[in-house]
């Protein structure tokens, strides 16, 4: 009988059982966030990931929320600055606008718009 040998390859623990199900095909969902300036930022989360209440707007650095009609107010005093805000502070407004334009252009190019 050859059955004894065939069973050996399927013993429990021989392979990563169950891991195939949570691999690359993990379902994702897009959650849009809106800041006080009306910027929409779609953020992708794994379906089982915890979605934060607030998300920093990548365009202006303001906090963005999931309610488009009632975005979180801009804080008067920021506990920390975004990189862009920090850069803008060190440059003139004109330079800052140019930087912003550049960033927006890159963003548009990435989206293929
Ligand atoms: Zn914004």
Residue 60 marked in a binding site: yes
Please give the distance, rounded to the nearest whole angstrom, from the Cα atom of residue 44 to the centre of ligand 1: 17
Q: How far is CA 93 from CA 26, 51, 78, 87, in A?
A: 44, 35, 20, 11
User: Could you tell me which residues are beta bridge partners of residue 42?
Assistant: 32
Examine the pLDDT at 13 and tell me if it is beyond 70. Answer: no
Is 57 marked as binding a ligand? yes
For residue 35, say whether it is annotated as part of any ligand binding site: yes
DSSP H/E element including 95: helix 93-111
Residue-wise pLDDT tens digits, 72-104: 998 776 566 777 777 777 766 677 788 888 999
Q: List C-alpha distances in Å: 56 to 16, 22, 40, 74.
A: 38, 29, 11, 11
Mean pLDDT of the chain: 79
3 state DSSP class of 30: strand
Q: What is the pTM of this model?
A: 0.46
């Amino acid at each position: 009988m050859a059955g004894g040998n065939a069973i050996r390859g399927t013993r429990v623990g021989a392979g990563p059982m169950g891991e195939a199900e949570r691999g690359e095909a993990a379902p994702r969902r897009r959650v849009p966030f809106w800041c006080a300036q009306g910027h929409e930022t779609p953020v992708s989360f794994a379906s089982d990931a915890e979605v934060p209440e607030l998300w920093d707007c990548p365009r202006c650095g303001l906090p963005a929320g999931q309610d488009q009609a009632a975005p979180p107010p801009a804080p008067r005093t920021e506990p920390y600055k975004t990189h862009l805000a920090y850069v803008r502070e060190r440059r003139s407004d004109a330079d800052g606008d140019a930087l912003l334009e550049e960033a927006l252009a890159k963003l548009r190019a990435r989206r293929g718009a």
